[in-house]
Structures are given as C-alpha cells and as structure tokens.
Amino acid sequence: MAALGNTGLEISRVGFGAWALGGSNYDWGWGAQDDEQSIAAIHHALDLGVNWIDTAAQYGFGHSEQVVGRAVQTYSGERPFLFTKGGQPEGPNRTTLQSLRRDSLRREVEGSLSRLGVDAIDLYQIHWPIPDDEIEEGWTTLAELKDEGLVRHIGVSNFDVAQLRRAQAIAPVETLQPPYSLVDREVEQEILPFAEREGIGVIVYSPMGSGMLTGTMTRERIASLPDDDWRKRSPGFQEPELTPRLELVARLERAAERLEASPGAVAVAWTLRNPAVDGAIVGFRRPDQVDPILPAADLELSAEDAAELEG
C-alpha cells in the first residue's frame, strides 16, 4: 500500500484500469469486450487486494463506468475507491470532443455519479488539458465540485509542469495521472520531479505500453489486431518503433525469468521504482490476466536489473 500524495487515501500499488472495458463502439476503443468478463476481472482483482479502479466517462462514452458500477454493486467485499475523469464528452458519430467548460463538466460529473452508483466520486480528474485556454475554467469547476461534496479529491491527467502551475494558482492539484513506461519516459525529466517536490500524488497509466510489454505481443498478434482496436493505428505498434520495442520485450523476458515473474509484472515494477510514483494503473480484461501482474507491487528490481531493462 502507498499514500496517494496528500489525499489521505491509502492505495494498492497496482490499480485496476478500466479503459478497455468501454468496448469498441467509439473512436478510442480496444475492440469488442465481454461485460461479464469485465465484471469477473474486477471482482478477482478486488479479491486479491486491489482497492481502486480508474475509469473515465470517455471510455465507451459511459459504458466503462456502467460496467464498473455494476461490478462494485455486486461485489460482496469492501467497496474500492472509484477514480474517473471528465473533459471529453461525446460528439457526433461517437467521436470524442474536448471541453473543460463548467456546464459540460457538470453534466459529465452527474452522468458519472449516476453510472457508478455513488453519491461522491473518490477522485475526479481532468482527462486532458484540452482546450488549453479552458484549463482555468475547468480546474475552477473541479474545485467547486469538491467544495460541494460531489467529488472527494481532484486531480489532472496528461498535464505538463506549466499547466500544473496554472491549476495550482487556483486550487491545489492533489493528483497527477501521466503515461509512464519503459517505452514512454518523457515525464522523468520535469513532470515527475515537480510532482514529488509539490507533494502531488502520482498514478501512472500504460505502464506496460498498452500491452506491448506484457510478453504476449508479437508481430503476428499486432497484425491480427481487430480494426476497431486503436493500437492498430498507433505508431508504437508499427515500424520504425516496433523493432526496438520488441528488443526491449526480449530483455524483459530475460529479466522476468531470472526474477521468477511475468514480463508484464517486471515492466510495472520498473515504473513503481520511481520515488514519485504511488501507483500504476493496469488494464485487465479477463480474470486470468490479473494474477501474473499483481506481484509487481512487491517486486524489488535492483539497479542492475533496471539498467539492463533500460538498455
């Protein structure tokens, strides 16, 4: 367990990411997804000690939140912390719009509360700092929502340091959610050190590079991804980026064998080595995907291990 910044929340080092649970019928889908499998995966993760779920209204335009709400309401144990995000409402033909306007965010929050089936959201985050000139209005709105008790804590995702400073001039930024993995290390330069200095809690997303670092991704599997999986269009899954990434996967597999862990767990554990990082968001689509990754929370990588992985 780790303290999430100064929120007072104690979170498991690995959290449940619910992006893929949104299904395929929108512009950032992961392909078809079985809702019963999604719910079973959530229940299994909670049984094994995961105590927070990160979702967003944009994931299937409410579908992921509906599934998470169903899973939580049918779970017999303690309710996990529920984190969600706003700022990307649904546009024409199930495409994603960008709005941080007060009225739009308030509509999104009302929808999220209803779908999740709760009176207050544990952590509400601005999904993207877009449009940039609406950041102040958006962050002021989140501060109001917190004052009103509709959300307990407020954070941001994908913000740079200048944008974090602009938000902090209005109200404290409690958490940050950036992308971070062995194939996406940009936040190491300025963003993670800033968050650590300021006491901002950090939960990183895509610690396995959107599936690239699980050890199960091959050229053949990438070629056979369904057309409604956004990764099919991603530069990270195509040349010239693909070959060096598959070479990294080979290094991960060697380290995993030595550490008696899965490649995915090693990749996640690498992100948790950074002192600024409180937790890592891992996307699970089926119960059997959970067990190989959760040991990342307790996996100690040596400096030599890390150097080998970083090549």
CB atoms within 10 A of CB 43: 18
**pTM of the entire structure?**
0.94
pLDDT tier for residue 68 given thresholds of 50, 70 and 90: very high
DSSP the chain: -EE-TTS--EE-SEEEE-SGGG-SSSTT-BS---HHHHHHHHHHHHHTT--EEE--TTTTTTHHHHHHHHHHHT-SSPPPEEEEEES--B-GGG-B-----HHHHHHHHHHHHHHHT-SSEEEEEES---SGGGHHHHHHHHHHHHHTTSEEEEEEES--HHHHHHHHTTS---EEE-B-BTTB-GGGTTHHHHHHHHT-EEEEB-TTTTTGGGS---HHHHHTS-TTBGGGG-GGGSTTTHHHHHHHHHHHHHHHHHHTS-HHHHHHHHHHTSTT--EEEEE-SSGGGTTTTGGGGG----HHHHHHHH-
pLDDT tier for residue 245 given thresholds of 50, 70 and 90: confident
pLDDT tier for residue 260 given thresholds of 50, 70 and 90: very high
Predicted pLDDT at 214: 84
Instruction: Enumerate residues 6+ apart whose C-beta is below 8 A from 288.
Output: none
Predicted pLDDT at 239: 82
59 is annotated as an active-site residue: yes
Asked if pLDDT for residue 86 goes beyond 90, the answer is: yes
Predicted pLDDT at 234: 80
Under CATH, which number does the domain 2-310 receive?
3.20.20.100
Residues 263-287 have pLDDT tens digits of 999 999 999 999 999 999 999 999 9
Task: Retrieve residue 6's tokens.
Answer: 């100064």
Residue tagged active-site, from 59, 124, 180, 205: 59
Top-confidence range, 31-40, 196-205, 220-229: 196-205
Predicted pLDDT at 23: 86
Predicted pLDDT at 30: 72
Predicted pLDDT at 295: 97
* Pairwise CA distance, residues 112 & 72, whole Å: 14
Predicted pLDDT at 121: 98
Task: Retrieve residue 12's tokens.
Answer: 């498991």
| Amino acid (1-letter code) at residue 174 | E
Asked if pLDDT for residue 39 goes beyond 80, the answer is: yes
Find the mean pLDDT for residues 56-84: 97
Query: Do 153 and 122 meet the contact criterion of CB atoms below 8 Å apart?
Result: yes
Predicted pLDDT at 60: 93
Average pLDDT, the chain: 94
pLDDT tier for residue 11 given thresholds of 50, 70 and 90: very high
Find the mean pLDDT for residues 118-133: 98
Asked if pLDDT for residue 183 goes beyond 80, the answer is: yes
Angle at 137 between CA 134 and CA 142, to 5 degrees: 120
Predicted pLDDT at 215: 73
pLDDT tier for residue 235 given thresholds of 50, 70 and 90: confident
What is the domain partition of the chain in residue ranges?
A: 2-310
